[in-house]
Amino acid sequence: MKPRFLVLTILAFIFLFPATDLIGQDKKQDKKLNYGNTIDVQVPYGRFQKADKNFFDDLQPFTGAGREKVPPTDLTEVRIGLLGPLEGSVLSPQGIQMLQGATLAMEEANEKGGYRGIPYKIFPHNDVGLWGAAANEVVKMNDEKVWAFIGTIDDINTHVALRVALKLELPMVNTGDPDPTLTETRIPWMIRCIADDRQSSYALVNYIYHVKKHSRIAVLRANNRYGRVGIMEFRDAALRYGYPLVLEIRYNDGETSFTTQIERMIKSSPDAVVLWGNAKETALILLQLRKMGMKQPVYGCDRLMSPVFLEIAGEEAEGVITTCQYNPTLDMPNLVAFNKNYEKRFGYEPDVFAAHAYDGMNIIIDAIDLAGLNRALMRDVMTDLKTLQGYQGITGEIIFDASWNDIGVIWMTEVRNGKFEFFPPPPFEQENLTGSIAAKKP
Amino acid sequence: MKKYLILIFIAGILIILVLARKPALNWSRQHVNYITAVEDHPLNCLSCHLYIQKEGIVAKLINADYLSPFNMAVSPDGSRLFVVAQEGNKLLVINTQTNKVIDKIDVGENPHSVIINNDGNTAFVSNQWADNIFEIDLSLLKIVDTIKTGSGPAGLALGADEKFLYVADSYSSEVSVIDLQTKTEIKRLMAGNNPVGTDISPAGNLLYITSRRTLPMPYGTPPMTELTVINTTTQRVKERKIFDNAYIMENVAFTPSGDMAIATLIRPKNLIPAIQIERGWMMTHGIGIIEPGDNGRIIQLLTDDPNSYYSDPFDIVITPDGEKAFVSHSGVDYITVIDLKAIRALLAESTPEMLDTYSNHLGISSRYVLKRIPTGANPKGLALSPEGEYLYVAERLEDRIAVISTEKMETINTIDLKGPSRITVARKGRRLLNNAGYTFHNQYACYTCHPDSHEDGLVYNMAGKDMGRNLANVQTLRDIGDIPPYKWNGKNSSIYKQDGMRFSTILTRTESFAFDELDALVAYIVTGIKNPPNLRYNPAGKLTAAQERGKKVFYRTHTNCGKEIPVKDRCFTCHPPPYFTNMLMVDVGTLSETDDYMLLDAPQLNNIYESAPYLHDGRAATLEELWTTYNDEDKHGVGNDMMKDQLNDLVEYLRSLRDAKYYIEDPEIYQASTHLKND
Amino acid sequence: MNSNRTIILLKVLLVIGLSGTFLISCKNEPMNGMFVFTRVPIDNFAIHEKEITHKYPGAQIVTINPDNPDKSEIILTTDFYSACSPRISYDAKHLLFLAQQNKNDSWQVWEMDLRKRTSMKITDFEESCSGPAYLPGNRLVFSRQIPDSGIGSDMALFTMNLDGSNVSQITFHPLFDYCSTILRDGRILFLTKQLYPVSDDMMYLAMRPNGTKAELFFKGTDGYFLNNQAYETMDGFVYFIEWEQGKYNNGDIVSVHQNRPLFTKVNYTSEIGGGFHSVFPIQSGDMIVSYHPSETDPIALYRFSVKEKSLGESIFSYSDYHILEPVLVEAYTRPRNLPDEVNHKESTGLLFSQDINITATQHDTNLLFLSKATKIEVLGIDKSLGIVPVEEDGSIYLKIIADTPIRLRTIDENGKTVSGPSAWIWLRPNERRGCVGCHEDHELSPENRVPLSVKKPPVCIPAELSEISKKGN
Amino acid sequence: MKKVITKISLRITILAIVILAGSFLGFKLVKKPLTSEEYPKTDQRISDKYSQGSLEESSNREGITKDTKPMPLYGNWQTFTKKNGLPADKAYCVRIDGDRVLVGTSAGLAVYENDKWRTYTVEDGLAHPGVLSIDVSELTGDVWIGTLGGLNRWSAGRFETFNQFNSGLANDVIYTVICDGKDVWVATGGGAGSYDTYTGQWGIYTERNAPMHEPWTYGVCAGGGKIFIAAWGGGVIEYTTKTQLFRDYIDPDGEMEIDLFTDDGVIHDITTGVTYADDILWVATYFGLSRYDGTRWKGYLDHDTGLISNFINFLKANGPVVWLCTDMGLCSFDGETWVTYQKKENSMEGKILITNGDDTKEIASSTSIAHEFVIGVDTQDDVIWISTSKGVSRGELLK
């Protein structure tokens, strides 16, 4: 049923594009979601002022040359780059998962004959190194003549890589960095197939304030870009619901004692606590805050959803609620097969980074299949919001918005009996909607 | 009774002396054997201990202040010879009729060159250790202006219309362009590495500037030294003539017709295993010939003979008739006279391939060397009288000027500059250090690899045990008397040992120094070698903001993450002031596959900015590379947590390090380190 | 009274005698300024073609005072049946010479104290020695016949202490070696002549006194023969006698300059008839020479002016003796005492060649067709010791068994000889030796670049060496 | 969510069919959002919007002249591609240096001199074949080259490489390099950097010591005793050379997806270039153009000004005129008049659009720029050079 509609939709788009796009837009405006799946109440300044310009109403074209380039005929392998924290980083376990997820996709594609008989090959690059190494690594990939690349997890490195990808006009698929600003750079060479922190924050904020009816939230976050940008979306969303944070404090990666921060949290007497950081530190924080007498419910970002967190936090993890960009327990045939194959191939369960990298790699492979070995044409099919729109990945259906951000499904989890139990986020409560959409209309 | 007691006392002392004589002698013998690593060095306390005094009355008494004439200029009418006295910090004025010094003008520290304008009324003297030029009114014999330059002003040239003065900034490797109307530096052009010599083409439109050190080259590749060509009309660099496999290009001279310019140079063999001296296997010396013009060739010819080398060529002058060139060889005390007609003929008949071969040919010199004229110790600067009949030679370590008849090619007179009449032990040592006579076939002097008693920037394949192993970056000689041990592997505990028998077996390959010679050499090395002031990075002892930040990094005890750095992995543990070495052996993870296992002697860091490349095998081209490239495991100090700007600050601080005396005088540094240690 | 007189007389005599003795003993250089030469009975004198060593039966070493030659003649070696080859020590106090005490004795090296006129035997071998010369550091060098190793008899150079201890062989090739002089740079200049596999012309080699770094010093034009004795002056000229083939009574005085010996030959006597047989430069600038105007005349002692290239006065002559090997008793600067890198604990030496394809003839367009060598073969006396492929840059780096004569031959891809075999060479234990190419121009210095071959361990020659050393470990 | 999507698809399908006929009516009335594959042929889009004219006519036209100085028009375009000797068609940057022109391509540095191209690559000493930025020191004539793999000083034939390993350079990807007297400034992937050629001292300006969020810089320019840095995501950073103090200019609305008020500050925090001339700072973004006169900001967007596209790769001011390299052609603007140079599809001909207020005129041109995706520009006297996605072009001032 679903595929049929999808096909129909795409067909309709292709044939009726100018009409649907132009006229439909005006007509659809009422029904269409705002940028980033933002509910009206959450639209920046939506209650007060119409913006002079909404940048992502339009799709940024790429008008440069390159589509005319003839694919090489003497290839013995089709190279795909992968930039990730492969060694020497706290994120290395995730980086390895990412590489393995992509590798599995590549191996499956190669089993099916690769690209017209030519096997795919991954050229992995470590993004952990001296100052801005990611930029240099992307340059190296380009020198290696990759056709596209996947990368990375750390948002600083992803941003750095993205800018180089633009200069080199090298298609980039991000499968692991939920930094919302990444796709807001309007670089028509990157798509992201993982939901961003904006989506996670919306879900979390809705859940915390509307479902659980908390109003005083204290945030303890990592003192890095990941923590800063993630919480930025959370803070804005909470504020727009009318709930300023009662406390936002930070810790540094590698810290092991959080007494000072927890003492400050206790003083702020919150209803609940939100932790935003890596699994290890947040688990330690959880243990320590429980030890120091804080009984409040704890919520966290998607990075808490990790075996490391459960292992360290133990029983105290019970009841912790996080978001997750997909639901690994869904009974979808492709996901089940992936989980099985992955474990068989690598000996342990895939994580969220493996799963999204698997999807990302498959998107690249599909793009090559569809467009041939031409970076600009590959880019075209990846970004046209048609060809690959609604891509059925193992992480669910991937829906890109006009900034090529994945605004697809987000999930929530709760630790129950030492396991993450998944559940869909409750529907957003639309408050004070009146006028906001109207205000947006030109 | 009293007398009796005194007698007993004296007798007692005598008995004790007699009894103690044997053990004392034994102890002395052992001490001398240990220091010199030989068993027959004479037991003479004074020969070693007296002459290594750096300060105090004794030092004053045993040493003398020499003049050390270096570069010269002749007045346009030929009546005056102006001599830069490098050690005396003076400009000497000599009447060439009477051959007498008629005036001495005090100039800045360590003056390098002098140039006279066409009217003969103004002299410019470059003060290499003061970063400025003195303008001297020659009618008043007074300094009338001081002009700031880049670092280490050396060779000077006046533009054709004398509106601009060009200065080779030897330390900052630039050429300062000075507007003589406003007496200000208007810009600096990048020159070769360590530029020194200058000459302007007869037409006045081209300025040639030689340089001494090789351009930074990829590790293990031959040196390349630049001769910079500046268009004096546009005041931009027109061209960079590259001399492959050559360095220490001290000076250059155009022929009067401008058909050639000739520079002095050395062709080192640092990449070849140092297994012999025979057949020019270590160093060869010669000239570089530049044919001006767009397709002009660059030719290198040796001035050596197969069994006799003419080391350390310094200056070159060409007679006004363009037929003879004179080259001073400061390492062998000779002037070589070159027949330029023969050179022209050779160049005319030779194919590029032939010239390529000639550049390594030791026999070809007999085609153009007319004569070798002996001189006094360490001939440096040369000057010709306006008509070219007399050649003046600055005999630097003789405090004397030789006057040579260019026609007879003989010394016809000498001018005594009235320096100290005695030759001190240190002076004798300095002569030894500068003289190649202590190397087989005079192939090189200590000075050759240690120009200005520093280092030559090259890495030598010393072929320790095997031929391709244990490459050695040349180390400076500055301050080394205070910071044993020696060699990178620290095997030599004293300079006596360093320059003793083994030195002659593997390095000079001729008879080792006699004991008195060795004593003199040590006396000079210990007392006579100074660090130039670090005017470029730390002129007055006040650190810049970046250097201050870098100092904090240098003395830090915790990483950026707050983790304590083990004491052995802190910068200042191995590099404490005043010499920034603890003189101990350490493994900093920098040994390469081609090194035999060894610990390395922590090197001193004073004036480290002048000593690229770095590490024992010179692998690191810059200070940055020590940590960006060659410190993967944090063994050379914990540094991988540093942000790039912190590293830059650290590098800025390292560049600020200057002579040890400042750190000895300033106890604040010590406090800083102890204070931080207690953190 | 008588007794008193006698006593006084005795006392006076004693005083005179003692002062005489004292004066005599105080005279440090009793023979300073005297000429010393070898007097050879005319009948026993013959110059044999291709003969290097000169041992003259019945010869004696004689000294004369040049100021009064006729009345000052003293035979210094009256105790010997034959004596020749006088060499003055640096301090002019001693004299090395070659002698046989009795007619059938072998020739050995002796040293005479010129003050006491007493002689001490230094060498004591069954085989004859020849060509002694003083080395710095109280040592001497000499030639000695060595046992026939199957390729004919030859002479090798040896060094030993002046007290006869510490004998060391320093040349190891199937050539006939004969020491000529010690150069001022400390090296031994010796005359050598290849015997095997084919007989070759004589040439001068220079070599460090430990037997390392032997290299060609001078090779005469084809067909010219060289004299065993050569002397270097303070200003670097090396004088010796050269004969044209077949004209052994027509030797000329020639010199080469130490700075560039291969190409600085000057003949001083080409315009002078007769024959020169020995030359000895004296520090004043002139020379004393052994010369005879014609074959029938006895060889006599003359002065010779280098500057004028002219024969000076005749100093001394015999009617029945030739005068050869003149020297002046005069102290002279000791040559450099070169350090010794030889380590007898090692059994190998290292040989490095920068590019075996560099040859002296590479710019000769006629030889451009020469193919590029890719391998090098090391040949022993009677067998190949190994074939080694060369590196891309033409370099080779070999560890070769020491004190063993070898020759090298370069081979192209097809196994054909490109050049060689070379002259015989040998390496001393722990010697490290480099050459620019093979048969390269002897005046070419190496190009400064990192050779590929030394980035690896050396190739062992013969190959069993590596096994031996492994076993040794 | 899946359900939602399915519903949407269904709705769209139905809607699409229903409004099929009406769609073409709207086609010519509304400026439509674009998709990459079918992005409008600029001719169509603009020719419908603007009236026609001829080149000769326009150059004498009152409409495009200002009171003081007429807006210059360029033409007689001559194009160079790989076929003419360029090492690659993709040319990132161009710099006129006296009698020669330096072009940074994806395959090396190309130098045009005496009607010939010569290429310099890694073998010659170039740090990386991808040359992103070039500047020439007015004092010394030294050429500074920013590449994807380090910074080069090219001085009289000698290439000197600075990278993050051998020097104090922040990062090896050099987006922009400029010379300011004896100082050289770079915008790199790891922060802005300065190099004092006299002292050899490097400065690094990142979030650690300057008001930037992150060390990502894209452009840098000098002027008025100041250095301006286009900090990607951080707006514009201003550094006063004398006081060594920083301040930043960011988009006051704090949101990436909108611009609340066009003239309230820099259009967007993602800045791509800065240029300074005649006391005016111009800032390029992928979201429009900003102008700052020292007291107030003004923003320009493509939907309500003559700016041809919001996507500005690079810009360079020369006197009162700023040259904008957009993805839809080369644009020049003096604060009043917009002049845009475009290429006719599949033709060697070009066109010029001149916009003054609401009035726009199109002029046909027999020659055109090499490609509409313009990446670099430089002007000197009567000549302009641009580098594009497919070749470089040289234009002449039309008199």
Provide the 8-state DSSP code for C127: S
- Which domains does chain A possess? 78-195+330-409 (3.40.50.2300), 198-324+413-423 (3.40.50.2300)
Q: Is residue C23 part of a domain?
A: no
Specify the DSSP element, H or E, that contains A93.
helix A92-111
Last residue of a domain, one of C259, C294, C328: C328
CA distance D206 to chain B (A): 9
Q: Is residue C334 part of a domain?
A: no
Pairing of strands B298-302, B313-318: unpaired
Instruction: State whether C386 and C429 are in the same domain.
Output: yes
- Residue whose token pair is 């302009």: D384
Interface residues on B facing D, Cβ-Cβ cutoff 8 A: 150, 172, 174, 187-190, 215-216, 226, 228-229, 234, 236-240, 242, 536-537, 544, 546, 621-622, 624-625, 628-629, 643-645, 647-648, 651-652, 655
The answer to whether residue B510 scores a pLDDT higher than 80 is yes
Nearest to B648 among D157, D198, D204 (CB): D204
SS (H, E, C) B27-73: HHHHHHHHHHCCCCCCCCHHHHHCCCCCCCHHHHHHCCCCCCEEEEE
Which H/E stretch holds residue C353?
strand C348-353
pLDDT, one tens digit per residue, over B201-214 is 999 999 999 999 99
CA dihedral B463, B469, B473, B474 (to 10 degrees): -10
β pairing state of A172-174 and A148-151: parallel
- Which of D156, D199, D208 is opposite residue B645, by nearest beta carbon? D208
pLDDT at A253 > cutoff 90: no
What pLDDT does residue A435 have?
A: 35
CB contacts < 8 A (B, C): 142
Contact C142, C182 (CB under 8 A): no
Domain end residue (candidates: C328, C360, C380): C328
Low-confidence ranges of chain D (pLDDT < 70): 1-69
Question: Mapping DSSP to helix (H, G, I), strand (E, B) and coil, where does residue C239 land?
Answer: strand
C457 shares contact with chain B (CB less than 8 Å) = yes
Quick check: helix, strand or coil at residue A63?
Answer: coil
Q: Å from B161 to nearest chain D CA?
A: 21
Q: Where are the beta strands (DSSP E) in A65-178?
A: 78-84, 120-126, 148-151, 172-174
CB contact under 8 A, D164 and A409: no
CB C318 within 8 A of CB C39: yes
Same domain, C133 and C256: yes
Partner A contacted by B644 (CB < 8 A): yes
Q: Is residue C466 part of a domain?
A: yes
Is D292 among the domain residues?
A: yes
CA D293 to chain centre: 19
Per-residue confidence (pLDDT) for residue D40, from 0 to 100: 40
Which among C339, C341, C446 is the nearest to B512, CB-wise? Answer: C339
Number of H helices, E strands in chain C: 2, 32
The residue in chain B having the minimum alpha-carbon distance to the alpha carbon of residue A254 is: B561
ipTM score: 0.88
CA distance B222 to chain C (A): 6
Q: Do chains C and A touch (3 or more CB pairs under 8 A)?
A: no
| Helix (H) / strand (E) containing A112 | none
* pLDDT at C290 > cutoff 90: yes
Q: What is d(CA D277, CA C139) in angstroms, rounded to the nearest whole number?
A: 86
Same domain for C230 and C162, yes or no, is yes
CATH number of this structure's domain B203-409, picked from the four choices 3.40.50.2300, 2.130.10.10, 3.40.50.300, 2.60.40.1180: 2.130.10.10
Please report the residues numbered 142 through 171 in chain A whose beta carbons come closer than 8 angstroms to any beta carbon of chain D: 142, 156, 159-160, 163-164, 167-169
Tell me the nearest-neighbour CA distance from A338 into chain D, angstroms. Answer: 21
Record: contact B362-C258, CB cut-off 8 A: no
Partners of B73 in the β-ladder: B82
Task: Enumerate the residues of chain B whose CB falls inside 8 A of the CB of residue C352.
Answer: 273, 275, 467
- In chain B, the N- to C-terminal Cα span, in Å, equals 66
Cα separation, D159 vs D152, in Å, equals 6
B-D C-beta contacts closer than 8 Å? 81
The full set of domain ranges for chain B reads 67-190, 203-409, 545-677
For chain C, the domain total comes to 2
Q: Given this model, what pLDDT does residue A30 score?
A: 46
Contacts of residue A232, Cβ cutoff 8 Å, sequence gap at least 6: none
Sheet holding B252-254, edge to edge: B252-254, B261-268, B283-290, B298-302
What is the domain-level CATH number for residue C419? 2.60.40.1120
> Which amino acid, residue C28?
N
Asked if C181 and C54 sit in the same domain, the reply is yes
Query: Is the Cβ–Cβ distance between D193 and D204 less than 8 Å?
Result: yes
Q: How confident is the model at residue B671 (pLDDT cuts 50, 70, 90)?
A: very low
Lowest mean pLDDT among B93-102, C144-153, D52-61: D52-61
Q: Evaluate whether D55 touches D365 at the Cβ level (below 8 Å).
A: yes
Write the single-letter amino acid at D204.
I
In this prediction, what percent of chain C has a pLDDT beyond 70?
88
Answer yes or no: do C295 and C357 share one domain. no
What are the residue ranges of helices labelled H in B534-666?
Answer: 545-554, 571-574, 623-628, 644-656, 660-665
Residues of B with CB below 8 A from A131's CB? 643-644
Looking at domain B67-190, its CATH architecture is 7 Propeller (2.130)
Instruction: Say whether B644 and A254 touch across the interface (CB within 8 A).
Output: no
Amino acid of residue C301: L
Q: What is the pTM of this model?
A: 0.88
CATH number, domain containing residue C130 = 2.120.10.30
Q: Is A422 on the interface with D (CB under 8 A)?
A: no
**Helix-then-strand count for chain B, H and E:** 16, 32
Tell which of D198, D212, D217, D246 to mutate to test the B interface (max B CBs under 10 Å).
D198
- The answer to whether residue D233 neighbours chain B at the CB level (below 8 Å) is no
**Domain check: are C156 and C277 in the same one?**
yes
Using the beta-carbon criterion (under 8 Å), do A131 and B561 form an inter-chain contact? no
Q: What percent of chain C is helix, strand and coil (3-state, nearest 5)?
A: 10, 40, 50
* Containing structural domain, residue C293: 35-328
Q: Is A14 exposed, middle or buried (0-12, 13-18, 19+ CB in 10 A)?
A: exposed
Confidence of residue B611 (pLDDT cuts 50, 70, 90): very high
Question: CA nearest A253 in B: which residue?
Answer: B561
Instruction: Look up residue B414 and give its two tokens.
Output: 């000498």
Q: Do the bridges between strand A78-84 and strand A148-151 make them parallel or antiparallel, or are there none, so unpaired?
A: parallel
Backbone angles phi and psi of C36, in degrees to 5: -125, 135
User: What does the pLDDT look like over B82-92, one tens digit per residue?
Assistant: 999 999 999 99
CB distance D194 to D185 below 8 Å: yes
Residues spanned by the domain of D304: 101-337+370-380
Strand C310-316 to B261-268 pairing: unpaired
The residue whose two tokens read 């060699």 is: B487
Quick check: D34 and A61 CB within 8 A? yes
- pLDDT tens for B385-416 read 999 999 999 999 999 999 999 999 999 999 99
- State whether A53 and D5 contact (CB < 8 Å): no
Element (H, E) at A237: helix A225-240
**B570 neighbors B673 (Cβ within 8 angstroms):** no
**Three-state secondary-structure class, residue C311:** strand
Q: How far apart are CA C175 and CA C205, in angstroms?
A: 12
Which chains are adjacent to chain D, needing at least 3 Cβ pairs under 8 Å?
A, B
Question: Rounded to an integer, what distance in angstroms lies between the CA atom of residue B463 and that of residue C349?
Answer: 13
pLDDT tens column, B287-315: 999 998 878 999 999 999 999 999 999 99
Looking at the fold, whether C70 and C176 belong to one and the same domain comes out as yes
Angle at B154 between CA B153 and CA B156, to 5 degrees: 100
pLDDT (mean) for C311-337? 92
pLDDT for residue B3:
79
Contact yes or no for D37 and A380 at CB 8 A: yes
Gyration radius of chain B's alpha carbons: 26
Show the CA angle centred on residue B151, arms to residues B147 and B155, nearest 5°: 75
Q: Which residues lie below 8 Å from residue B99, measured CB to CB, with a gap of 6+?
A: B403, B413, B415
Q: Do B363 and C443 touch (CB under 8 A)?
A: yes
| Pair C319, C368 in one domain | no
Q: Do chains C and B touch (3 or more CB pairs under 8 A)?
A: yes
Q: Is C433 on the interface with B (CB under 8 A)?
A: yes
Q: Which tokens hold the place of B617? A: 């095998």
Give the 3-state secondary structure of residue B101: strand
| A vs B: CB pairs below 8 A | 6
The yes-or-no answer to whether B67-190 and B203-409 have a common fold is yes
Indicate yes or no: CB of B284 within 8 angstroms of CB of C445. Answer: yes
- Listed by number, the residues of chain C in 340-379 with a beta carbon closer than 8 Å to a beta carbon of chain B are 340-341, 350, 352, 354, 363
Interface of D with A in 50-79 (CB under 8 A): none
pLDDT at D318: 93
Whichever domain contains D322, its CATH number is 2.130.10.10
Last residue of a domain, one of C277, C295, C328: C328
Tell me the pairing of strands B100-106 and B379-384. Answer: unpaired
| CA separation for the pair C114, C330 (Å, rounded) | 12
Cβ of residue B190 closer than 8 Å to a chain C Cβ: no
**What are the C-alpha distances in Å from D222 to residues B165, D94, D133, D241?**
30, 18, 15, 10
Predicted confidence band of residue B670 (pLDDT cuts 50, 70, 90): very low
First and final C-alpha spacing in chain A: 37
Per-residue pLDDT of C372-424, as tens digits, reads 889 999 999 888 999 999 999 999 999 999 999 999 999 998 888 888 788 89
Q: Answer for the pair A212, D297: CB distance below 8 angstroms, yes or no.
A: no
Q: Which of A284, A330, A320 is nearest to A424 (CA)?
A: A330
What does the pLDDT read at residue D59?
A: 43
Helix (H, G, I), strand (E, B) or coil at A221: strand
Q: Are residues C309 and C378 in the same domain?
A: no
pLDDT value at position C152? 62
What number of residues does chain D have? 399
pLDDT of residue C408: 92
- Which of A148-182 are b and which e, b meaning 16 or more Cβ less than 10 Å from the residue's Cβ? bbbbbbbbbbbbbbbbbbbbbbbbbbbbbbbbbbb
User: DSSP letters of D165-208?
Assistant: TTSS-S-S-EEEEEEETTEEEEEEBTEEEEEETTT--EEEESTT
**pLDDT for residue A28:** 40
Q: pLDDT-based confidence at C151, cuts 50/70/90? A: low
Q: Identify all chain D residues contacting A65, using CB atoms and an 8 Å cutoff.
A: 89-90, 371, 373, 388-390
User: Average pLDDT in the B208-223 region?
Assistant: 94
State whether C89 and C206 are in the same domain: yes
Element holding C154 (H helix, E strand): strand C154-161
Question: Is C137 a domain residue?
Answer: yes
Give yes or no for C48 touching B (CB within 8 A).
Answer: no
In-domain check, residue C12: no
Q: Write out the E strands in B122-190.
A: 122-127, 132-137, 142-148, 153-158, 164-169, 174-179, 184-190
The whole-angstrom separation of Cα D2 and Cα C431 is: 84
What does the DSSP assignment read for D237-283?
Answer: EEEETTTTEEEEE--TT--SSEES-TTSS-S-SBEEEEEEETTEEEE
Q: Are A157 and A151 in contact (CB under 8 A)?
A: yes
Q: Please, which pLDDT band fits residue B669 given cuts at 50, 70 and 90?
A: low
Longest dimension (CA), chain D: 73
A42: confidence class by pLDDT, cuts 50, 70, 90: confident
> D311 and A60 in contact by Cβ < 8 A?
yes
Quote the CA–CA distance of C130 and C112 in Å, as a whole number.
Answer: 16
Token output for D389: 């996605």
What top-level class would CATH report for the domain B545-677? mainly alpha
Tell me: the pLDDT tens digits for D156-207? Answer: 999 999 999 999 999 999 999 999 999 999 999 889 999 999 999 999 999 8
| Residue pLDDT, tens place only, A88-134 | 888 899 999 999 999 999 999 999 999 999 999 999 999 987 778 89
Tell me which residue in D17, D23, D36 faces A384 most closely, judged by beta carbons: D36
Report how far apart, in Å, the C-alpha atoms of A193 and of each of A355, A388, A400 are: 10, 11, 8
